[in-house]
Amino acid sequence: MMSDQIQEYQSALEEYKQVVTQFRTLTDIRFKLLAYLPLGTIATIFISRDDNIVDKPAVAAFALVATLCIATYNKRNDQHYDELVARAAQLEREQLGLLDGSFTQRPTRWLWYGRLPVEHRWPIGLLYAAATALWAYLLVSGMVTSLSVQSRYTFALELAAPALVIACWQWLRAMERTARSDLRAAVCSLKDLLVTNAPPREGELERVVSAIVAKKKQLRIDKKKAERRVHYHWEKYATRHDVRAGSLLLSAVIDLPARWIEDVWTGRR
């Protein structure tokens, strides 16, 4: 028994090291993007200004698309970043005995300037939105010049482009909050079905599949995939119907971390 506990501790410690390494890598990528994007944008504009390259609509369009792609990539990195922090905290709490570890005791945002919180996400998002708005302005400016649009409309068109980008950024932030809330609600709705602490009853597998499929809009899963995955993982789940087993089953079906599902169900986060 002692040997098994030592092996489990060593395995957890090794995973913890890997999680921390990945966390540092993602943090490094984030800071490099934050440094290179604004500097690269301004440098490109000033260096190419004499040759009028930046005024070409095709160049501005490419830069606009590239900035949007980098921003999307960064948003996906944020999801991995959050999961790595949560997994490191779970390992500290449950396997390593570090109840006051760096990730377990990671401070929440506590400083506010009026209604403005001091945090990572919105400043990074605003930086990407500002870079996108600049390229949108240059794109419209180049198109206005190329198409010889009447001068009285020029200012309005050039102003509308960055304004539209900032408005879209705010809209996307609202969409993200709604999607997060809807996802949590969909996962919460499955708790009573999957966490029963009782032996499985006849037809329960089909009921689980139907309940998951009923939330396919939020969980992003179709009926065939849900059926195939529930059937594959059911035998192991059927031996236990507690929170841990239920979260593992749902995680395997909808490709979201079991740790996050368990946190939602227990109200820990």
Residues 130 and 248 placed together within one structural domain of the fold: no
Instruction: Please give the pLDDT value at position 149.
Output: 62
Residues 155 and 87 placed together within one structural domain of the fold: yes
| Residue 267 burial (10 A CB sphere; 0-12, 13-18, 19+) | exposed
Element (H, E) at 31: helix 2-48
Angle (CA) 144-72-31 rounded to 5° is: 105
Please tell me the total count of domains within the chain: 2
Place of tokens 């997060």: 180
Residues 54 and 128 placed together within one structural domain of the fold: yes
Residues 74 and 184 placed together within one structural domain of the fold: yes
What domain range includes position 50? 2-108+117-188
pLDDT mean by block of 10 residues, the chain; 269 residues: 78 94 93 85 72 72 91 93 93 90 90 90 92 89 73 75 92 95 95 81 87 93 93 88 91 94 88
Residues 34 and 103 placed together within one structural domain of the fold: yes
Residues 51 and 92 placed together within one structural domain of the fold: yes
- From 133, 155, 188, the end of a domain falls on 188
Instruction: Please give the pLDDT value at position 52.
Output: 65
**Whole-prediction pTM value?**
0.84
- From 188, 206, 240, the end of a domain falls on 188
Residues 29 and 97 placed together within one structural domain of the fold: yes
- From 140, 173, 188, the end of a domain falls on 188
Cα 91 to the chain's mean position, in Å?
21
How many beta carbons lie within 10 A of that of residue 262, not counting itself? 21
Residues 170 and 195 placed together within one structural domain of the fold: no
Residues 206 and 172 placed together within one structural domain of the fold: no
How many beta carbons lie within 10 A of that of residue 186, not counting itself? 19
Place of tokens 């905290």: 89
Instruction: Please give the pLDDT value at position 190.
Output: 94
Residues 214 and 241 placed together within one structural domain of the fold: yes
- Single-letter amino acid code for the residue at 98: L
Instruction: Please give the pLDDT value at position 13.
Output: 93
Residues 138 and 206 placed together within one structural domain of the fold: no
Residues 29 and 131 placed together within one structural domain of the fold: yes
* Beta-carbon contacts of residue 60 (< 8 Å; ≥ 6 apart): 54, 135, 136, 138, 139, 141, 142
Instruction: Please give the pLDDT value at position 5.
Output: 80
